[in-house]
Amino acid sequence: MRVISGSAKGRPLKAVPGMGTRPTTDKVKEAVFSMIGPYFEGGQVLDLFAGTGGLSIEALSRGMDRAVLTDVDKKAIDTIRHNLQATGLTERAEVYRNDAMRALKALSKREARFDLVFLDPPYKLKVIGELLEELQRGGLLADGARIVVEHDAEDRHEGDFGELEWLRRAEYGDTAITIYRTRSEGKET
């Protein structure tokens, strides 16, 4: 794993030790950023179930201003901190060891708003709907925010979800990516 593009391009990323984390492959990461970017002019990113931190580190490298990364696993938190240091992005990130739903509630109390959100829960959890609801209920999404959901290809996440407009879905083996956007922007062309 490595940073694909931007200011930290080519820097290697350490994997979380053990089998508890399924890192996003470079192929999928490259596809995600070709769908949502590829580069950004600032903004805030939220990475729930951050694992290695690879997705938000890529977003920071490509121009996002700041990132909040959360994971419940101590090994993942240690790996995220290592990867942020290795890429020189530590000062632009906040890292929290917390359950995703608790993290959303805490961020809502801080009145945080995000332009880009990565949701990549363990496939067996089946919490994507709850998390999308909480992002909206907590007022955590900026106008035009994009939400990138990585999930099992067998799970279907199609159609609008509350105030979120469904943009597209792509499959890469047993992994699928579904992208939503807050409705404030017009339809994608």
For residue 92, being part of any structural domain is answered with yes
Q: Which candidate, 184, 185, 121, places its Cα nearest to that of 157?
A: 121
* Sheet of 114-119, strands arranged across: 93-97, 66-71, 44-48, 114-119, 141-152, 175-182, 164-172
Residue 2 located in a structural domain: no
Tokens of 14: 């350490």
CATH number, position 92: 3.40.50.150
pLDDT of residue 188: 45
Q: Is residue 51 part of a domain?
A: yes
Backbone angles phi, psi at 162, to 5 degrees: 60, -125
> Domain span at residue 89?
26-182
Question: Do the beta carbons of residue 162 and residue 136 sit within 8 Å?
Answer: yes
Residue (of 152, 115, 147, 153) closest to 132 by Cα position: 147
Question: With 0-12 CB in 10 A as exposed, 13-18 as middle and 19+ as buried, what is 46?
Answer: buried
Q: Are 179 and 146 in contact (CB under 8 A)?
A: yes
Residue-level pLDDT at 184: 65
- Residue 14 within a domain: no
Residue 6, in any domain of the structure: no
Per-residue model confidence (pLDDT) at position 27: 86
Could you tell me if residue 46 is inside a domain?
Answer: yes
Would you state the pLDDT for residue 25?
80
pLDDT of 18: 82
Q: Are 15 and 23 in contact (CB under 8 A)?
A: yes
Domain presence at residue 9: no
Residues of the chain with pLDDT under 50: 185-189
pLDDT of residue 186: 46
Number of domains in the chain: 1
